[in-house]
Structure 1
Amino acid sequence: MNYWSKSDKKIFFAFVAALLFCQSYGSLFAQSPLGTATLDKATLEEVVKYAIRNQPAIQQSVIDERITENNIKNRLADWYPQINFNYNLQHNFIVQTSIIGGNPVKLGVKNLSAGQLTVSQAIFNRDILLARRTQNDVRLQSSQLTASNKTDLAVDVSKAFYDVLTTKQQIDVSNEDIVRLERSLKDAQNQYKAGVADKIDYKRALISLNNTKAARKSNEEVLTGKVEYLKSLMGYPKEQELSLQYDTLQLEQEIFLDTLQNADYTERIDYQLLSTHKRLLEYNFQYTKWSYLPTVAANGAYNLNFQNNQFLDLYSKIFPNSFLVLTLSLPIYQGGKRKINTNTAEWQLKRINLDIKRLQLNVNAEYVRALGNYKGSLINLLTQKENRDLAKEVYDIIQLQYRSGIKTYLEVITSETDLRLARINYYNALYQVLSNKIDVQRALGQLNY
């Protein structure tokens, strides 16, 4: 016997479907809570993009853009008619008395009520006119500030990324050296036990191994701080692990850039900001000149007036009135304030022109300095790469000669030290070149986000 009607079944299945949807929706958010997104094997490009999305400073800049947009709309709203309604209810305990023809006469009634509908329209107002003419440049300035903050963040994140890689490479070099030194220590220990060599070789190998382990431990501690700094720049969750992905061969191919380029300051975001600011100051200069013009506005009102000595009969009779007013307001003398404001605006324009000129000089000096650092670090990298290859070749030869009894263990230790330093110097030079390349690109205005 079926106790369920068709409508009951529909309601039941709809309820089950809604319950399953809510459960899946909740589990989705439980798996990916807001603000806890992580990166798996993050490349430099992914790290920069993540930082731009999650860094609070950038999010604040985006919010500032929205606030600016609302402020513009708020100022432009004054161009529209302003409509208001007022209502009041008044009871006079003592009606006003006036002397007319030598006789006291009461004017008015005990109970008053009025409703007023007003409309005002600005015809000419320099504040509103300024807001209308500057709205596009104000928006542009806000977006340029965000772009400038993104560029600064991208530079800082990239350098921090390379700094982390430098330390990681030093740790990797130490790990490889430790494996090699442990093998050498074992060989020296076996030779000492066999009576072929004295214990000096064994102790030298142990000293070198201990120094390498200490250097690795030190770099591991330093790496922790550098990773946390990178996380802070990215807005990355501190409790989540950040695993960086990089290819040394790929990085080696990215070290080169065109050194024959000329610095064009107009490509720089800071110049674009100054240009926008200059246009706004020009508008402000024009605004101060408009202070000599009158303000014109139209106002109208329709009043509903009710008067009666009996409160219950107050709204039994109406006495309406209405009016339209055209107001022209012209300040004649303000103690020289308008002239002072005009002079101030003119000096601000002259000052911004000097800011632009100073930027032109600084951009050229910054580019030449960055380019010089890049070229110097590139030459150092090529030298360190050659030294690394030579040190590896020398080490292999001395290792074979030592096992053949031709070289002493001291020479093996020396060649190992040279190889370790050569490899560390090479990686340091590689990431220094990449860091200096970023400075050159920034000076050229090629880093735009």
Structure 2
Amino acid sequence: MKYWSKPQKLLRLAVGSAVLLLNSFHVLIGQAITRPADQAPVLEQATLQDVVAYAIKNQPVIQQSLIDERITENQIRSRLADWYPQINFNYNLQHNFIVQTSIIAGNPVKLGVKNISAAQFTLSQQIFNRDVLLANQTRRDVQLAASQNTANNKTDLAVNVSKAFYDVIATSQQVDVAEEDIIRLERSLRDAENQYKSGIADKIDYKRATISLNNTRANKKGNEEILKAKIEYLKSLMGYPLDKALNISYDTLQMERDVMMDTLQSVDFTTRIEYQILSTQRKLQEANIQYNKWSYLPNISLNGAYNLNFQNNQFTDLYSKNYPNSFGLLTLSLPIFQGGKRKANLRQAEWQLRRLDWDVKGLQNNVNAEYAAALANYKGNLTDLLAQKENVDLAREVYDVIQLQYKSGIKTYLEVVTSETDLRLARINYYNALYQVLASKIDVQKALGQINYL
């Protein structure tokens, strides 16, 4: 055991250090990486604000964007780490089974010994390196670009969730309208049946009432199935637990008050998140141009090493004597000719910058067109809403009058069915128009850059 004592101690120390480093690495990784929650929270009453806030917090796309931000931060730290002194340690143990022989003055001479061991400490420091300079100058813009990407995803998600929420409410209102119609039709059916039994009316009114009731029930059932699908779609946008119920809560009167907005606002495309993203990309591209200009400058680094050298023909005495050496080194590296590669890269970066300028111009045109289309849809839907609201009042008045006239024997049941159908369609059209206005209002706000999560 004495024969192996010194090498074993060194090996044990090296292995133990490696194990500790690996364990620490795994612990840090386990703490740093966030895993999806096993069970997302459940909303008791889901208003529009609650639904949007829930989606922003739990939607997988948003969580992925936030993780991308963390990844970007660590990539920047990794790049900037090259600014710090780099210290390394190397160790080796070599046994020569046959020592090299050289001919010196006609005589064979063995050069070296059977056992060699060396330990080396090295230190290097970057003085000028364009890669590290680029990472240092652009770190804030790179982080900003990652956060802007998250904000863009949040904006799109908020718009899509809001529209899906209104779509769910519109279908839910159709179900409610059908439920109220079923109650009225069941009452009308009883009246028609009583009049038929009393001999006041023939069987036709009774059959028409039955047909209308059956159609309304079928329509209600169809809308209920559609509503389920729309709720599931909304839940998928929100990142809501698929096995949990989502209870939508809304105030129709408040929504009616929320439809109005200022239509005289002027669009400013610089408030859009897309413009802010392009502005950040432009800054990064300007930095890329500077990076390519730096390619004409040399890379400068400072290096040093301290070496411990152990040599002995007897393994047990290998570490008895050390033959150290050390050095310092200043390195300057300058490519002189690369076939025009540096100039081509610089021109490429400049053309990419000019292309970004045209992207900004194209965004301005698209935003103006988007705002004009969204505003036109909003105004058209608002006009339709006002017309449908008046139609509901008129249809309800007509229905009430014809219902009384039918009970008095003045009108036929066919006219009752027609007025009831007109009332149902008027109410459905009104609710559809209401949520179309609210959805188009969101498009206008997005075009104006008023929906922003940066």
Q: TM-score by structure 1 length? A: 0.91
Q: 2:142 aligns with which of 125, 138, 141?
A: 138
Between the aligned partners of 2:339 and 2:313, the Cα distance in structure 1 is: 51
Structure-1 residue corresponding to 2:98: 94
Structure-2 residue corresponding to 1:70: 74
Structure-1 residue corresponding to 2:344: 340
Structure-1 residue corresponding to 2:166: 162
Please say which of residues 305-314 and 148-157 is displaced more in the overlay.
Answer: 305-314
Between the aligned partners of 2:313 and 2:182, the Cα distance in structure 1 is: 106
Structure-1 residue corresponding to 2:33: none
Structure-1 residue corresponding to 2:197: 193
Structure-1 residue corresponding to 2:431: 427
Structure-1 residue corresponding to 2:234: 230
Structure-1 residue corresponding to 2:11: none
- Summarize deviations over 1:392-445 as a string: whole Å, max 9, x none: 111111111111222221111111111000000000000000000000000011
Counterpart amino acid of residue 287 in structure 1: Y
Between the aligned partners of 1:192 and 1:49, the Cα distance in structure 2 is: 57
Please say which of residues 354-363 and 199-208 is displaced more in the overlay.
Answer: 199-208
Between the aligned partners of 2:200 and 2:177, the Cα distance in structure 1 is: 31
Structure-1 residue corresponding to 2:153: 149
Structure-2 residue corresponding to 1:393: 397
Structure-1 residue corresponding to 2:24: none
Structure-2 residue corresponding to 1:313: 317
Please say which of residues 392-401 and 94-103 is displaced more in the overlay.
Answer: 94-103
Structure-1 residue corresponding to 2:379: 375
Q: 1:220 aligns with which of 221, 224, 231?
A: 224
Q: Does 2:234 align with 1:261?
A: no
Structure-1 residue corresponding to 2:278: 274
Check whether the contact 2:40–2:58 (CA below 8 A) recurs between aligned residues. Answer: no
- Summarize deviations over 1:14-66 as a string: whole Å, max 9, x none: xxxxxxxxxxxxxxxxxxx8423111111000011111111111111111110
Structure-2 residue corresponding to 1:361: 365
Number of residue pairs matched? 417
Please say which of residues 66-75 and 36-45 is displaced more in the overlay.
Answer: 36-45
Structure-1 residue corresponding to 2:179: 175
Output the aligned Cα RMSD.
Answer: 1.0
Structure-2 residue corresponding to 1:251: 255
Between the aligned partners of 1:311 and 1:176, the Cα distance in structure 2 is: 99
Structure-2 residue corresponding to 1:27: none
Check whether the contact 2:267–2:448 (CA below 8 A) recurs between aligned residues. Answer: yes
Between the aligned partners of 2:190 and 2:316, the Cα distance in structure 1 is: 114
Measured after TM superposition, the shift of residue 250 of structure 1 is: 0.5
Between the aligned partners of 1:338 and 1:100, the Cα distance in structure 2 is: 50
Between the aligned partners of 2:185 and 2:319, the Cα distance in structure 1 is: 106
Counterpart amino acid of residue 39 in structure 2: G
- Summarize deviations over 1:102-147 as a string: whole Å, max 9, x none: 3332222222111111000000000000000000000000000011
Seq. identity, %:
72
Q: 2:449 aligns with which of 429, 440, 445?
A: 445
Between the aligned partners of 1:92 and 1:221, the Cα distance in structure 2 is: 82
Measured after TM superposition, the shift of residue 287 of structure 1 is: 0.7
Structure-2 residue corresponding to 1:23: none
Q: 1:82 aligns with which of 82, 86, 89?
A: 86
Measured after TM superposition, the shift of residue 387 of structure 1 is: 0.4
Counterpart amino acid of residue 103 in structure 1: N
Q: Does 2:129 align with 1:125?
A: yes
* Shift >4 Å, 4+ stretches: none
Between the aligned partners of 1:200 and 1:156, the Cα distance in structure 2 is: 48
- Summarize deviations over 1:349-387 as a string: whole Å, max 9, x none: 111111111000000000000000000000000000000
Check whether the contact 2:130–2:299 (CA below 8 A) recurs between aligned residues. Answer: yes
**SS of the residue 2:97 aligns to:** coil
**SS of the residue 1:159 aligns to:** helix
Measured after TM superposition, the shift of residue 344 of structure 1 is: 1.2
Q: Does 2:306 align with 1:302?
A: yes
Q: TM-score by structure 2 length? A: 0.90
Question: What residue ranges of structure 1 are gaps of 5+ in the alignment?
Answer: 1-32
Counterpart amino acid of residue 171 in structure 2: T
